[in-house]
Amino acid sequence: MKSPLLFLPGAVPAEGVDEGVAAHYGDLFREQRALAGGTGFVDLSHRGVVSVTGDDRLSWLHLLLTQHVSDLPTGQATEALILSAHGHIEHALYLVDDGTTVWAHVEPGTQDALIAYLESMKFFYRVDVADRTGEFAVVHLPAGSIAEVPEGVVVRETPYGRDLFLPRADLESYAEKSGPAVGLLAYEALRVEHHRPRLGFETDHRTIPHELGWIGTAVHLQKGCYRGQETVARVQNLGKPPRRLVFLHLDGSEVHLPPAGADIRLADEGPDGRKIGFVTTSVRHHELGPVALALVKRNIPLDARLMADSTAAAQEAVVEP
């Protein structure tokens, strides 16, 4: 779904899964500094929006999600996953309940598969699931923002800012009053800085929550049964995940960033050494320079010198070995 804000001056479209919104508006580092300073807004209107209504909405979702939501207070933001039977991550939901409806935004293009799964699990529960992407656009206000929120708009308040479920018809008028617009690349740079994983970026077909640090934030360890719980409990109680998320400081003298999927090897083993992981997201940060998130084998020493593609890299642990 193409955003009308792509017609703002300087807008450069994002590509790939983020197609439909602006990557930036002409000045990447200025936009990052604005967002870090609590000004501007980010157009996330390409993300899917799903609603769940009905008297059983919270108790029903509690049975399906990794998060404890049966008693979710009105207005309290949370995030949750849906796992496969083997514990692999299939969906990530960013939720809030407004007292009558659970609202969730999800990765672009994943809402159809998510809704199909939820519909298959309704049984006798009093719930209605709907795709609201065509009616509502997600807009992000950074932490510290004093921008006004229109009356009646549902808000997810998090430590990183506020996510607004704004009527899509109001997106242009809201942008006129709440600028400056900040592109998705600035939002992604701050996401990487804060070590926040993203479905489809930090995940592949075999990722489990422990590898990304999603235990606690999106997975509640003291709740009842849900699909994939056996894997979560087994790894939590008996072992360690096979991989771990790391934050990489990349050699700033290199012109090009290692792309997502680039192999990571031990520097001491040279370019033909064994592959020990891969880059998941790489960005240029306005203060930190070139940085990245990556998945590496759990037993790689924290002080090991790494190569991300052909770029030297030093790691910080996000998930401890």
CB 302 within 8 A of CB 317: yes
3 state SS of 311 = strand
Q: What domains can be seen in the chain, in order of their start residue? A: 2-45+133-192 (3.30.1360.120), 241-320 (2.40.30.160)
More confident residue, 313 or 225: 313
User: What confidence score (pLDDT) does residue 224 get?
Assistant: 79
User: What confidence score (pLDDT) does residue 179 get?
Assistant: 80
Query: What secondary structure letter does DSSP report for 192?
Result: H
Q: Is pLDDT above 90 for 101?
A: yes
Rounded CA gap, 21 and 12, in Å?
8
**Average pLDDT, integer, range 44-67:** 98
- pLDDT per residue over 162-179, tens digit each? 999 999 999 999 999 888
User: What confidence score (pLDDT) does residue 1 get?
Assistant: 80
Strand partners, 166: 137
Q: Is pLDDT above 90 for 73?
A: yes
- pLDDT per residue over 291-321, tens digit each? 999 999 999 999 999 999 999 999 999 999 9
Please report the DSSP string for 33-84 in residue order. Answer: HHHHTT-SEEE-TTSEEEEEESTTHHHHHHHHSSS--TTPPTT--EEEEEE-
CB 12 within 8 A of CB 23: yes
Q: Which residues contact 16 (CB under 8 A, 6 or more apart)?
A: none
Please give the model's pTM, rounded to 2 decimal places: 0.95
Rounded CA gap, 290 and 286, in Å?
9
Rounded CA gap, 265 and 84, in Å?
30
pLDDT interval class at 223 (50, 70, 90) = confident
Rounded to the nearest integer, the mean pLDDT of the chain is 96
- pLDDT per residue over 270-295, tens digit each? 888 999 999 999 999 999 999 999 99
User: What confidence score (pLDDT) does residue 39 get?
Assistant: 96
